[in-house]
A and B are shown apart, each in its own frame.
Chain A
């Protein structure tokens, strides 16, 4: 297979001493942001991104993706030890992880979580390795209308399958596109939606939005709840780790099932959060002893973790091959690629194979490094959470604002962060999803260009969106996803109901 030959070249790039050091550093930083409330993966990557502008793109992406893996692992650590999900996608891990830790099985829970997460991630990367060239070749046939259709498909699946109010998703998405159009218009050169503010001439960076929405917004929520960390003391004893590793193959069905769910949800923009909830729900439904779920059932840790990480890593596939990110963090990374002067999408495989395959190879290595590092550093990071929040909170605030300033050295951005923070707080409390906003801000220019070029091609007629088989299929698929909730109701009306709902409890994805 060609892909594996390319992958081998990738390993030669990724396996340099410098890159392995970057991986370890990225994973450590990632665990730190994953552990700290208010600093999740999307926010952490946004904060680090401005510091990578001067790095070579391969090293930069290895740093950012390693940070992403670290953040996902860090999120699971706090879920298990503190019952506080460091990431929205590790909420489902608290259901059984924390009870296990309270029963004195913290090592077992952590080891299971990390190993199944690593397994899920490797499945995700394997899928990327196998499918990426194929998807990229397929996407070579795309021109503007097809791209617009793919973007439409991505947002339609958010709206139709998001689990929250579809109209709130539309508001969030539309605002994102609106923010993206602020400032200089690349085609006409005009200044749009600046309302006379000279500070808005250069536009609103998606990084500022992410730092505000995810960073300050999340901190406000944390403060409001008056958070206290009552953690379970964790000592990771090597004996228990080895014992748990030997028990892992017992859960092979759960591992494979959850990874499959995760890969699917990662490639379609369902995201890791939805994947972990769905996987947990399904594990409970098919289990022979569903009553033990929620009381420290190991499978309740394995399932959401494997799905979470499989989704997290496979979200990189559509980002690389199509230029459509599958999660908020992937969206931020894609924005980074564009800032480094790379053009995510099928041409990237032709123009910069070293970058693509170096990245994919680093995903294998990065996850293995992450599992090892996280197992060794659990006690260290758990002790960080014992530092009172009146110290940690303000330090996170300072880091967020420093990060915001480094994006473009604009003082106005500091006010924007405050504004977005307030918005993130309200949106989270009122269950407006935030990921569509971030995706829309990153994709805004590309989507608008695709829209304008399609219109020019067709001289203003919308019929271009069903002018050939490919674009019609994409649009039709998008419409099905968009009206999925309505279709569901219709189908249920027509078929007199036997089972009340397709999914059991605990499968409702939040955020």
Chain B
């Protein structure tokens, strides 16, 4: 079980890290005065500084109020549900890069409906393929916005 205080502290550390990263990255470009006004790094540097400082305050508040923040941030059951949702989403992104977005969408919709929704495979596959075909028609023909395509579309000579 993840405690609220742990989550607060972790998030504050990450945002502080992002702030410091922006400061370090900005230093490269000059944060002082240049011939054309403030250096290109000035604005990101001070924004990074602001984020880092505010994150430290958040961190301090989370540390001090630790006993007050002893409620659960995420219990086991919730974590499982989030993982069961995000796992397939990440696989969907990987599949999009390998197989193209339409095939990935059809697979993703079919498999989540079948394995997680408890529907029959036939119905799941019909829904998945139908949805992918719908997106294909709407995007490629109606709006003429191309999405990433993979080997299947190439085999059909669709692009």
Contacts and interface: CB of A to CB of B under 8 A. Distances in A.
Interface of A: 50-51, 165, 167-168, 170-171, 174-175, 177-178, 181, 185, 187-188, 190, 192-193, 195, 216, 219-220, 223-226, 388, 390-391, 393-395, 397-398, 401-402, 405-406, 409, 411, 414-415, 418, 425-427, 429-430, 432, 448, 451-453, 455-456, 460
A483 B22 CA distance: 27
Contacts of A175: 15, 18-19, 51
Given A167-B57, A402-B147, A452-B43, 9 more contacts: A174-B47, A188-B40, A193-B26, A220-B85, A224-B74, A418-B90, A430-B8, A448-B43, A451-B38
A390 B113 contact: yes
A188 B29 contact: yes
Contacts of B88: 394
B40 A185 contact: yes
A430 B11 contact: yes
A395 B61 contact: no
B3 to A, nearest CB: 12
A391 B130 CA distance: 13
Contacts of B146: 409
B29 A51 contact: no
A182 B73 CA distance: 32
A402 B82 contact: no
A401 B82 contact: no
Interface string B17-61: 011011001100100010011101111100110110011011001
Interface in B47-83: 47-48, 50-51, 54-55, 57-58, 61, 73-74, 77-78, 81-82
Given A402-B101, A418-B90, A426 B11 contact: yes
9 contacts: A171-B58, A178-B18, A223-B84, A390-B117, A395-B131, A398-B135, A414-B93, A415-B93, A430-B8
Nearest to A456: B37
Contact of B48 (A50, A174, A455): A174
B29 A398 contact: no
Q: What are the 10 tightest A-B residue pairs by CB atom distance, in nearest-first order?
A: A390-B117, A174-B51, A170-B54, A456-B37, A223-B85, A181-B44, A188-B40, A193-B25, A177-B47, A167-B57
B37 A455 contact: yes
A492 B43 CA distance: 37
A304 to B, nearest CB: 28
B113 A401 contact: no
B36 A456 contact: yes
Contacts of A192: 25-26, 29, 40-41, 44
A401 B93 contact: yes
Contacts of B109: 391, 394-395, 398
Nearest to B56: A167
Interface of B: 4, 7-8, 11, 15, 18-19, 21-22, 25-26, 29, 33, 36-38, 40-44, 47-48, 50-51, 54-55, 57-58, 61, 73-74, 77-78, 81-82, 84-86, 88-90, 92-93, 96-97, 101, 105, 108-109, 112-113, 116-119, 127, 131, 135, 139, 143, 145-148
A225 B78 CA distance: 7
A193 B24 CA distance: 9
A460 B148 contact: no
B58 A190 contact: no
Contacts of A448: 43
B36 A393 contact: no
B61 A165 contact: yes
A188 B28 CA distance: 13
Contact of A224 (B11, B78, B90, B92): B78
Contact of A411 (B4, B41, B81, B148): B148
Nearest to A191: B29
A208 B61 CA distance: 31
Nearest to A194: B25
A226 B79 CA distance: 11
A185 B118 CA distance: 51
B81 A224 contact: yes
Contacts of B44: 177-178, 181, 192-193
Contact of A452 (B25, B38, B81, B117): B38
Contact of B58 (A167, A223, A425, A451): A167
Nearest to B7: A430
Contacts of A187: 36, 40
B52 to A, nearest CB: 9
A502 to B, nearest CB: 24
Contacts of A220: 82, 85-86
